[in-house]
Amino acid sequence: ISLRIRSICSKVLQKLYKWVRGQNGWSVTYSSSQICTIKGSTVDLKCNYTHPDTVGDTVIEVRKLIWYTKGDNYAPVDLKDDQDYAGRIKYKHGCTVAIRDVRESDSAVYKFRFITNHQNGKYTGSPGVTLSVSAVELQVIKWERKQSGTRAEMTCKSKCLSDLHPYIWVKNGQDVLTQTSSSFSYMFSDADRISCAAAGHRNFPSPSVCQFVFSIPDMPNLPSVSSSSGHIVKGDPINLTCSSDANPAATYTWYKKDTSGPLSKGSQLVFKSIQSSDSGEYYCKAQNVLRIKASKVVFIDVKYAPKLPRISVSASEIMEGISLTLSCSSDSNPAANYTWFKENEKTPQSSGQNLTITNIGRQHSGLYFCEAHNSRGSHKSAIHLTVAATMLMVRFCLHFVFIFLFSIKILLCLI
């Protein structure tokens, strides 16, 4: 028996050893956790992965390799199936993937996952690779108009590169070989076009600048904002227009204060049917290759008629003799005025947000109306008041009934 027990224990220990070894054998190691690259280039995301040879009695075989940014461990969206990367993804040897013609929108966290033939043999490497994509930008620092042309001092930069990284300056498609620094001074003639590119990324230059850019000494000017309507009423179509003198022509972006991110791009911000929630402070930014300039803030104040008034009562039980206040409120712009009416009475009970009835009596029972009104319209609500007798009156009535019944009883006895 002891030999049999030892044999069973030995097999159990062997399986346990294989299981432990299998649990510890899963891994994904990324070559870099942070990658910053130039817009338009090709980037390789690299890693190494390991898995145990066996788990239990199963020999492990890798069935699928996945790089993804969308979805999760349970339902990842493979980059080669993601429409945002269509035609730009290539899986290489091992777990390397190449992304071609990278865009700024490709900036994201990328994770690698592999799936094996074992039911539980799936593994994702965390935290992944953070990819940042940045364009090369040419900025004009200052310029000076001369008879022979315009002398401009320019700088080239990218968020992905250090200040010491060399740059290539390009004139009319040809490299200016003597300049490899991030700064460049040049005298423009009429036909010249200047751009720059980061060394090692010659095929992905900045937008070019020509002398035409400098024909106006101050651009873009402070943008101005105009509205298609003086009085802005709920439901009306409203256009806000942004304009600025600029050369080259400016592009425009619209913002609302206390709102994250831009609202829209273009010289016009269009409201097909403006709502009260659209009230707020708006401004635009005009931008060209030389400068970004923000407009002054414009306040949009949407006018609208009072919404259905809300009526509240100061007492939960309305008894004779108490003082009662009815309060009326309504959301509106401009602020509403209030008038109180009682059913079947032509004369208003009161003007103002509150209607107070002192020493209330049974005659005050009935239907009361609150009308909220402003220059845009009016709205009305109603409430029904039922005034109950006081406990003193109830007791008096009960006492009277008791005497009446007692009198009847005496008469019956006499008969």
Task: Kindly state whether residue 415 falls inside one of the protein's structural domains.
Answer: no
Task: Kindly state whether residue 84 falls inside one of the protein's structural domains.
Answer: yes
Same structural domain for residues 89 and 128? yes
Number of domains in the chain: 4
Chain-centroid distance of CA 170 in Å reads 40
Same structural domain for residues 54 and 114? yes
Q: Which of 134, 153, 188 is the last residue before a domain boundary? A: 134
- Residues linked to residue 77 through DSSP beta bridges, in sequence order: 70
Residue 313 CA: distances (Å) to CA of 263, 325, 378, 387: 43, 6, 22, 13
Name the residue with tokens 């097999």.
11
Return the H-helix or E-strand segment holding 253: strand 251-256
pLDDT in tens, the chain (415 residues): 455 655 665 554 455 444 444 456 899 999 999 999 999 999 999 999 999 999 888 899 999 999 999 888 788 999 999 999 999 999 998 899 999 999 888 999 999 999 999 988 999 998 899 999 888 888 777 777 776 667 788 888 888 888 788 888 888 888 775 557 787 777 777 677 888 888 888 888 888 777 555 554 445 667 777 776 667 888 888 888 888 877 677 889 999 998 888 999 888 888 888 899 999 999 999 988 777 888 888 889 999 999 999 999 998 888 888 999 999 999 999 999 999 999 888 788 888 999 999 999 988 999 999 999 999 899 999 999 999 876 545 455 555 556 666 566 665 665 6
Task: Give the predicted TM-score (pTM) of the model.
Answer: 0.46
Same structural domain for residues 126 and 141? no
Q: Which range marks the domain in which residue 335 is found? A: 310-391
Same structural domain for residues 285 and 324? no
Q: Which of 273, 300, 327 is the last residue before a domain boundary? A: 300
Task: Kindly state whether residue 408 falls inside one of the protein's structural domains.
Answer: no
Name the residue with tokens 């966290």.
109
Q: How far apart are CA 258 and CA 242, in angstroms?
A: 20
SS3 209: strand
Q: C-alpha angle with apex 195: 190 to 200, nearest 5 degrees? A: 155
CATH (domain of 197): 2.60.40
SS3 407: helix
Q: Which tokens in the block code for residue 210?
A: 């020509």
CATH (domain of 61): 2.60.40.10
Q: How far apart are CA 202 and CA 38, in angstroms?
A: 11
3-state DSSP of 142-162: EEEEECCEEEEEEEEECCCCC
Amino acid (one-letter) located at 313: V
Same structural domain for residues 343 and 385? yes
Same structural domain for residues 13 and 130? yes
